[in-house]
Structure 1
Amino acid sequence: MTAREAAVRALVAFSQGNTWSDLFLNSLLTKEGITGRDAALASRICYGVLQNGTACQWYAEMFLDGTFDRLQPVVREILKSAVYQMVFMDKIPARAAVSEAVELTKNICNKGAASLVNAVLRKLSASLDKLPPLPDDDLTIKYSHSKEFIDYFIRKIGREKTLKLLEADNSIPELTVRVNSLKPPIEIPNSTPHPWLEGYVNLEGIGNVSETEWYKNGYLTVQDAAAALPVIAAEPEPGIRLLDACAAPGGKTFLAAQLMQNKGYILACDIHQHKLKHIIEGSQRLGIDIVEVKAMDASTFDENLHEAFDTVLADVPCSGLGVIRKKPEIRYKSFESISSIPKKQFNILDNLASYVKPGGLLIYSTCTLMEEENEGVTDRFLSKHSEFTREAFTLPGPIGNVDSGHITIWPTDFGTDGF
């Protein structure tokens, strides 16, 4: 299987609602033994098409007789992936993109579909130097976001900031990893220190990081800098008891254990039993032995956990609108599908408050930018729980002191995910 076919199959799986593209693609790359530059190419094409799907379709339809929707799903994704390579990537010759797309269509579909793909892409190739720019007056095409999404943020933060957010969503994120402080220091090839977060490095050109020897041997964990900040704000000390209530796949649990120097106790929970294996496997890989896992609904009271923890992390399920760079398909969610999330978030936070020891710490975090899921939830919580107050904290690098006790990190602020 080629890198291009792997990308197309992941795109088809997502379009049919069967999976998240990154989970499917990483599993497929591992199964097919696709590594290094080929794995990086597959990822670039897959995520690039998801980031620019509407724009790719817009260009393809210029040279297509009929409507795009009438095509087979796999043909649609082959066309969009080829358009992405020809229009948005600068290191792939157009003839190579056309040839590979036609051959892939022959192998997966039939000669008739291959003829259609060939005709569309050859017309596009002949017109590359005179293609119109993406329309400034239609942001849904230019940035491949829904009108609902765009209108929401224009109302909240204005048009100028929204345009910067859309550009950030369509940028190619750096691969940031935390170096395991519980192991002896090593030199990781193709890495550069993170500009402001100690213990983190950015990697380039390594493909599927989970297939590298440094990952397999427990020297690093993939984690965006912003995702680390809730744990850093908590300042977990060696010997404390900490609950990570919505822990899977375990990134914050692992960071907390390292900051605690693998001393103390962490209970890492998730409502999904099958996800706990990722925390168990990750702890073993990283040499962490203070973590216990448990399947738990964080919104349902457990008497055994009452006032049992010095620190409780509530990294609650959310709409994910801050991590669209990493999970570009989130941009296609309808706002109706996420309207009930704040109620669930409040119920989780309301219940977890009872697990904090008197004088202890409760950290609430999301990876969304929606005020309804952030201040909307915490304001409601504080109006009910007078025993809790917002506390000032300090974050690394350019962020510094957060005297208000709460902060939203935008993707446009420091080149991280939104949190």
Structure 2
Amino acid sequence: MRLHKNLVFATISALEDIFNQGQLADKTVERVLKQDKRWGSRDRGFIAETTYDIVRWKRLYAKIAGVRPPYSREDLFRVFAVWAVLRGISLPDWKQFSGTPVRRIKGKFDELSRIRKYRESIPDWLDSLGAKTLGEELWTAEIAALNQQAEVILRVNTLKTTRSELQQLLAADKLETETIKGYPNALRLKKRANVFASPTFKAGLFEVQDAASQLVAPFLQISPGDFVIDACAGAGGKSLHLAALMENKGQLLALDIYPGKLKELKRRARRNGVHNTETRHIDSQKVIKKLTQRADKLLLDVPCTGTGVLRRNPDAKWKLQPEFLDRVIQTQKTILRDYSKMVKKGGTMVYATCSILRQENSDQVQEFLQSDAGEEFSLEEEQSIFASEAGFDGFYMARLKRK
């Protein structure tokens, strides 16, 4: 591979914003890719994938390069040089790479690779917490799986097409896919591509959604005609799946505390051909109280640490702090206590997270069941999905029945 100066410099600029300014990786990459309209798909792919790769292995590469935050531009070029050397890429004769100790880089990599927190490039506290929560063996396998690049998985919008029809349409658009056993509405892209530019996406025939995430909506066991509430709907990834499972029948109420996300949900619903969904902003407790014992089915896809989706958000490893875990656990407790009141007698509730930490998952459910708010509920089924076992994102789901 031959390195091009404008692409390398763009990558360095992206890393500077992510590492030093605390910018989100996805938003930063999106902005940087708009800087030069002459860049083709291969150029854009280099910038995006290299940036994410270096963000993913930030601690390991910085340790090998011998640099610490805040990172100067010279430091970031040293980190980039480590990335290139470890991939067997010849460094060009630029002043930024002069004196790069290639042999030392390889030797230091071999040395640090024997230590998990460096090999997997994670903070000390997260490594200790993961090992304590999951056990050494599972945590070692899990964090290694969560450091792999996520595949592009599509969810077929069954309101508009079938999986086989979509597969044919995508193939005609030179997007080759394959089915995934056990995931009836999923298609896996054989080669990474910008699917958002596809006419099939613009027509609302599919959404990009990880296979593990596609298990959550069916876990609620909804039927057409139900009154369903998605109480932490966000931008609507799972709401759209629920609407498809409901066949546009019954009523789906999508709630969230962020009106901007609900606005995006409405836009996506129009593209998907969803007609049975209403959005409602949670601007006070009155919104929840008015829905007391109304829902046949309730989905609580609660805020969490996102430890199960680090493959997609590698920068979260560095933004996540122990105090945030404490805060989000309290938020989850509050949501379970207050929002569960919306389930009617005989109704069903699913509590879900994209976390692999027991503290956010089974511990929360058990504490809720032992509380006054949860005394009328019983646990029907729970499922923990690990990236090291399933090959997809980490998730947790618990289905509870109100007596």
TM-score by length of 2: 0.85
Alignment match of 1:172 (pick from 141, 149, 160): 149
Is 2:377 the partner of 1:369?
no
Greater Cα shift, 335-344 or 77-86: 77-86
CA contact (8 A) 1:60 1:120 kept: no
Q: 1:19 to 1:210 in 2, by over 3 A?
A: farther
Partners in 1 of 2:14 and 2:205 — Cα distance?
29
Paired amino acid for 1:46: T
Q: 1:342 to 1:129 in 2, by over 3 A?
A: closer
CA contact (8 A) 1:298 1:351 kept: no
CA RMSD across the alignment:
2.5
Partners in 2 of 1:70 and 1:414 — Cα distance?
37
Is 2:52 the partner of 1:50?
no
Q: 1:144 to 1:32 in 2, by over 3 A?
A: same
Aligned partner of 1:414 in structure 2 is: 390
Percentage of matched positions with identical amino acids: 25
Partners in 1 of 2:363 and 2:261 — Cα distance?
29
Q: 1:339 to 1:130 in 2, by over 3 A?
A: closer
Matches within 5 A, 1:378-397: 378-384=365-371, 385-391=374-380
Aligned partner of 1:218 in structure 2 is: 204
CA contact (8 A) 1:39 1:208 kept: no
Paired amino acid for 2:317: R
Q: 1:179 to 1:258 in 2, by over 3 A?
A: same
Per-residue deviation, residues 317-368 of structure 1 (Å, max 9, x unmatched): 0011111111112222221232121111011111111111221111100011
Aligned-residue offset at 1:136 = 4.3
Alignment match of 1:141 (pick from 118, 125, 128): 118
Aligned partner of 1:357 in structure 2 is: 344
The count of residues paired between Structure 1 and Structure 2 equals 378
Aligned partner of 2:98 in structure 1 is: 119
Alignment match of 2:24 (pick from 20, 33, 55): 20
Is 2:139 the partner of 1:157?
no
CA contact (8 A) 2:20 2:70 kept: no
Q: 1:269 to 1:4 in 2, by over 3 A?
A: farther
Q: 1:293 to 1:78 in 2, by over 3 A?
A: farther
Alignment match of 2:253 (pick from 264, 267, 270): 267
Aligned-residue offset at 1:158 = 2.6
Q: 1:196 to 1:7 in 2, by over 3 A?
A: farther
CA contact (8 A) 2:65 2:105 kept: no
What SS does the aligned partner of 1:322 have? Answer: helix
Aligned-residue offset at 1:83 = 2.6
What SS does the aligned partner of 1:292 have? Answer: strand
Aligned-residue offset at 1:120 = 4.6
Q: 1:284 to 1:5 in 2, by over 3 A?
A: farther
Matches within 5 A, 1:76-87: 76-87=75-86
Matches within 5 A, 1:68-83: 68-69=68-69, 71-72=71-72, 74-83=73-82
Aligned partner of 1:94 in structure 2 is: 90
Aligned partner of 1:182 in structure 2 is: 159
What SS does the aligned partner of 1:390 have? Answer: strand
Partners in 2 of 1:4 and 1:47 — Cα distance?
13
Partners in 1 of 2:331 and 2:361 — Cα distance?
12
Partners in 2 of 1:5 and 1:277 — Cα distance?
36
Q: 1:383 to 1:57 in 2, by over 3 A?
A: same
CA contact (8 A) 1:223 1:251 kept: yes
Q: Which consecutive residues of structure 2, in runs of 5 or more, have no partner in the other structure?
A: 396-403
Is 2:290 the partner of 1:313?
no
What SS does the aligned partner of 1:148 have? Answer: helix
What SS does the aligned partner of 1:312 have? Answer: strand
CA contact (8 A) 1:299 1:347 kept: no
Q: Which consecutive residues of structure 1, in runs of 5 or more, have no partner in the other structure?
A: 62-66, 103-114, 392-404
